[in-house]
Amino acid sequence: MDLRFTPDELAFRDEVRTFFRTALPADIRRKTELGQRLSKEDTVSWQRILNAKGWAVPHWPAEWGGTDWGPVKNYVFREEMQLAPAPDPLSFNVSMVGPVLIAFGTDAQKRHFLPRVANLDYWFCQGFSEPGAGSDLASLRTSARREGDDYVVNGQKIWTSRAHHADWMFCLVRTDPKAKPQAGITYLLIDMKTPGITVRPIPTIDGEHHFNEVFFDDARVPVANRVGEENKGWTYAKFLLGNERTGIARVGASKYRIQRAKELARTIMLGATPLAETPRFREKVADIEVQLKALEITQMRVVCNARKLPPGVQDPASSVLKLKGSELQQAATEILMEVAGPDALALQPEHLWGTATDEPIGPEWGPMIAPDYFYTRAASIYGGSNEIQRNVIAKRLLGL
């Protein structure tokens, strides 16, 4: 295995870097640099710029709007996007439901949904977690009863990210309550405007509204919106979660946070010495950077191995990427909290959203540090908790 980039791949990196430097709108770039939250309109606008370039879904087959770049160029593209820093395209669309439809959807579903998923004409959310069925997803109880050409859905989903923005949900429902836990589950696409669906916000510790509860009360979903076979949804969910875990490593995003921590630390004085030059700070940064380099090499190995796997088969090593990647995201935000010190304490939501008309308390970047730190606490839970990833690693990689 050769982990070095070829001249063609290095030229491609320059092309991508130039695109992000010139095509990313200045207001969105500034929000991303500061760590401010993006509006739905910001996310839609940027994804449509990428789609016009043909780069919103580069890892998809060219037949459905992708590029056929291959895993190495896809890796380079993603890293440069996070280093720019530019917003990621909506992962629920491009990394989750899109690949599932390509692998398992009907031709009619592909023709209808995939162009709209790529262009963010449809905003999807994920209906997997339930009370009592988060990390143990096989215990889900939301039911779908077949009545003629419809499924009648009843139950509750929770921790549904951005459901208040969503037009559609990809959802796991139990269609055979007598089957084994992993059997009897079906994968449905549900229009969020369907009568019988209620979305309720869940405010989180960072003072924001990311998550929601979603309730289904006799919501009727056409059978035509079922992906794949009835009672085979667990297979499609495992495929989707493998894609999600690979993306959660976010090596480029952690690199950017560390780079920013070092820049800001040069402006923080401890007596006559910049924080960035203190031995303790340098030791902490070096420790994270060494671990990031190891993770990056592991990710490159997964990328290279992906070329050898049959279509639709996920490398169990993606669990390593998710586990270590989430830990390093949290470590990087801890360093930024240390840099900010008391300047991270004031809750200033109007500055977090870029809507403030007054000066912030402390430096311009201060209001974004603590919310970012709090939000990344969830990184070790979403996409399959790190405890579950350790089980996957023990069983499938180590054979324990």
Interior/surface letters 264-273, b for 16+ CB within 10 angstroms, e for the rest: bbeebeeeee
Q: What's 313's DSSP letter?
A: P
Distance CA(67)–CA(56), nearest Å, equals 10
Nearest to 54 by CA among 23, 11, 96: 23
In sequence order, the β-bridge partners of residue 396 are none
Q: Can you tell me the distance from the alpha carbon of 26 to that of 59, in angstroms, rounded to the nearest whole number?
A: 26
Q: Contact 125/84 with Cβ under 8 angstroms?
A: no
Gap between the Cα atoms of 204 and 352, Å rounded = 14
Active-site hit among 244, 263, 327, 350 = 244
Known catalytic membership, residue 244: yes
- Among 330, 336, 332, smallest CA distance to 264 is for 336
Q: What are phi and psi of 144, to 5 degrees?
A: -135, 115
* Contacts of range 42-45, beta carbons closer than 8 Å, 24 or more positions apart: 42/87, 43/87, 43/90, 43/120, 44/120, 44/123
With CA atoms as reference, report the closest residue to 94 among 128, 119, 63, 62: 119
For 199-208, the CB contacts below 8 A with 24+ separation are 199/160, 199/163, 199/164, 201/164, 202/158, 202/159, 204/374, 204/375, 205/374, 205/377, 206/370, 206/371, 206/372, 206/374, 206/375, 207/347, 207/349, 207/352, 207/371, 208/37, 208/349, 208/352, 208/371, 208/375
> Are the C-beta atoms of residues 239 and 100 closer than 8 Å to each other?
yes
Backbone dihedral angles phi then psi of residue 167, each to the nearest 5 degrees = -95, -30
Nearest to 362 by CA among 377, 351, 376: 351
Measured distance CA(302)–CA(324) in Å, rounded: 14
Catalytic residue list:
244
